[in-house]
Structure 1
């Protein structure tokens, strides 16, 4: 089964966001922007992959998940973590290697483990693991599911198809969320993917929906029945979000043309919601900026994290 949800348009036709959803999306936006600023100023080491432009995806999906569901994230995972935990301090401390970090500063930007949340930088790696966890949940915790976030570039990995095959055969409660931003690091999707994601899901008898809307309420209304099927009937599903990455692949390696970057900016949910709900927006946007500034100042003043191997 495959279906599509297309964008209804920007401006006043967008559904009003619940305050909690708006706060979460704005928190992710401003913390991601802050990370790029910190890198430019030499305040961070290593690398980072921001989800600027894609923030609404994890927020929309999180509203359909239970705290006992498992979430498997990827290298572009800050938004996934913040939508689940609302913990900018712990995340920033992890990235900066300061005390109070989620994983004592060992995991950094890409590799985070907390409760039933795991992120990894290895493309496709999470799908077989998520399928195994989904099998455990089917047997021991009926009603729980495993949700794995992947990108369009991940569909070049054989592990993805092995996991889908097992999930379909064994009726595992596995939800695969694809953030399809049209470019795999520096390679446009058209140059590295034959066929469609819908066609690939159909080959394994896995449900699929393609979502082009940025309206969080509309997205949830469409996904809710599918998520219920995954959760209660063990019918794996693929939710493919057509989205746009505003920033570079990592902190400064954008190979797109100026025109392509401008096109991505024109699709930004941030400006669309700002136009649609200006007064309400300004209040929450200012609060999110202030919160991120305060967290950044606090974490920057902390001593380095310390850890010992057991």
Structure 2
């Protein structure tokens, strides 16, 4: 397995960051809610080199990995989630609603797609070659705004890439029980290209997706990329209602044991480094005063 040092570090940073959040909730140190991306870390890591500074990224409720892949700022993100000084949005956005430069996350399903189409149209006219990338889940395909956005994106050839992290379950409802047909057929109905991938290896995934991203950048119209993923953790905090066999099946697809076996001592050293980094960041953020802001 070929895995760059920065990719291994980022995979493990996200894994330890998310585990740490669940531990903080168990300790009663966090309020509100949070949705971890445990088991899906390879997606934002693979996209790290495919999305540049000029691109807009629209994230969703399960977006910590997306943010960390773009900014490598676990300190600011944890402070935001905990409402402490140094927070990305002064603690107003929390876990789900973050705005930083050309990055925006929201917990409202389907909300970002119409906005992304508008942004993409501006990019096409003012900044050719840049794209608007939108992260959604399989459950988001139950929202009408998705189809309105795909219709406009296809008609107007907007450089939008819809990144579908399909983990087979929408909160507690299996996808098979709430989604008729396929995501591919839904994209094709609007004349939008669709690509599905089961890859987990970061380098292989990048190599597969790079020409597709290049085609969108060249003005080839929108694209839907569907990632087959497996959610290891609960939907939100501790509300995992899946049968034990489903949880075990998801665990059998985890990338981490495979990477650990392939990289051996190199993995162990980086795993310890990122675990210690997250622990140190947590101690620092916990010691900070609560964030403050003024109402304009």
Range class of TM-score, shorter chain: over 0.9
Instruction: Tell me the SS of whatever aligns to 2:225.
Output: strand
Q: Corresponding residue for 1:146?
A: 132
Partner of residue 194 from structure 1, selected from 159, 180, 192: 180
Question: How far is the alpha carbon of 1:54 from its aligned partner?
Answer: 0.2
Instruction: Tell me the SS of whatever aligns to 2:260.
Output: helix
| In 1: Cα distance, 2:49 partner to 2:255 partner | 18
Matched residue count: 296
| In 2: Cα distance, 1:255 partner to 1:57 partner | 24
Instruction: Tell me the SS of whatever aligns to 1:233.
Output: coil
Instruction: Tell me the SS of whatever aligns to 2:163.
Output: strand
Instruction: Tell me the SS of whatever aligns to 1:144.
Output: coil
Instruction: Tell me the SS of whatever aligns to 1:247.
Output: coil
| In 2: Cα distance, 1:138 partner to 1:233 partner | 8
| In 2: Cα distance, 1:276 partner to 1:60 partner | 18
| In 1: Cα distance, 2:212 partner to 2:147 partner | 20
Q: Corresponding residue for 1:130?
A: 116
Q: Which moved more, 1:127-136 or 1:58-67?
A: 58-67
Partner of residue 235 from structure 1, selected from 180, 200, 221: 221
Alignment of 1:5-20 (within 5 A): 15-20=1-6
Is the aligned partner of 1:252 residue 2:238? Answer: yes
Question: How far is the alpha carbon of 1:231 from its aligned partner?
Answer: 1.1
Q: Corresponding residue for 1:179?
A: 165
Structure 1, unpaired ranges of 5+: 1-14
Instruction: Tell me the SS of whatever aligns to 1:213.
Output: coil
Q: Corresponding residue for 2:74?
A: 88
Instruction: Tell me the SS of whatever aligns to 1:36.
Output: helix
User: 1:111-168: CA deviations, max 9, x gaps?
Assistant: 0000000000000000000001000101111111000000000000010011111111
| TM-score, scaled to structure 1 | 0.95
User: 1:249-286: CA deviations, max 9, x gaps?
Assistant: 00011110011001100100111111111111111111
For the 8 Å contact 1:16–1:277, the answer to whether it is kept is no
Instruction: Tell me the SS of whatever aligns to 1:208.
Output: strand
Partner of residue 301 from structure 1, selected from 272, 287, 292: 287
Structure 2, unpaired ranges of 5+: none
Question: How far is the alpha carbon of 1:234 from its aligned partner?
Answer: 4.0
Partner of residue 104 from structure 1, selected from 90, 110, 114: 90
Q: Corresponding residue for 1:221?
A: 207
Task: List, as ranges, runs of 4+ consecutive aligned residues in structure 1 with deviation greater than 4 Å.
Answer: none
User: 1:76-119: CA deviations, max 9, x gaps?
Assistant: 00000000000000000000000000000000000000000000
Is the aligned partner of 1:121 residue 2:121? Answer: no
Is the aligned partner of 1:67 residue 2:53? Answer: yes
| In 1: Cα distance, 2:247 partner to 2:272 partner | 26
Partner of residue 285 from structure 1, selected from 271, 275, 280: 271
